[in-house]
A = this chain, B = another copy of it.
Amino acid sequence: MEFYPVAIEKLIEEFAKLPGIGYKTAQRLTLHVLNLPKEEVSEFAEALVKARGTIKYCSICGNYTDTDPCSICSNPNRENSIICVVEEPKDIMAVEKVRDFNGTYHVLHGTISPMAGRGPNDINLKQLVSRMKDNIKEIIVATNANVEGEATAMYISKILKPFDVKVTRIAHGLPMGGDLEYADEITLAKALEGRKEI
């Protein structure tokens, strides 16, 4: 395709590299950018470089942060004897939205996945173990409810056995508003297994 000038083709290519963005969408985004005021485009470009440049990982929990430790780890009002272990920084946001959890977090940046060739050393586990010295009472493993997430949860519970710490897993079951009829067998089995007296 050589109908666009090089600079436009280049920007289309860059947009098309982003996940979930194909050539047509990249083209649409590029033409949108060409119609923006120059200052807005510079601001966008600057935000890109700045976000990538200034962001580091919190040395305690592994979350993205601009200060070290991050705002959650350094907050004296949070109970730092309870750690919620999540796969990715965006999962922290999901839990924070519930406004029900006042502990701290630990970001694994991935899961153990033999299929994808990721072992325990490829995720942020060592740091979690080293946090055990700080008088931790409970570790809530909030990895995703899929094969990798479950395997990772099992592994964490195993390596934390030597420490005097309660390791819990978030509950699996029917989602709220969920219809029994449409629930898959595994979810339903988990829901039955996790039944509680009322």
Contacts and interface: CB of A to CB of B under 8 A. Distances in A.
Interface of A: 1, 3-8, 10-11, 13-14, 17-21, 25, 27-34, 36, 38, 41-55, 64-67, 70-71, 88-90, 92-93, 96
B43 A14 contact: yes
A44 B34 contact: no
A78 B11 CA distance: 27
A19 B6 CA distance: 23
Given A5-B71, A21-B29, 7 more contacts: A6-B66, A7-B54, A11-B51, A19-B28, A20-B25, A20-B28, A36-B52
A1 B51 contact: no
B41 A7 contact: no
Contact of A18 (B8, B13, B32, B65): B32
A156 B1 CA distance: 30
13 contacts: A5-B66, A8-B55, A11-B47, A14-B48, A19-B28, A20-B28, A30-B51, A33-B52, A34-B52, A36-B52, A38-B53, A41-B48, A45-B46
What 3 A-B pairs have minimum CB-CB distances, sorted nearest first? A45-B45, A11-B51, A5-B66
A89 B52 contact: no
A191 B28 CA distance: 30
A6 B54 CA distance: 10
A51 B14 CA distance: 11
Contact of A7 (B38, B44, B47): B47
A34 B8 contact: no
A7 B45 contact: no
A101 to B, nearest CB: 12
Contacts of A25: 20
Contact of A29 (B7, B19, B27, B89): B19
A81 to B, nearest CB: 21
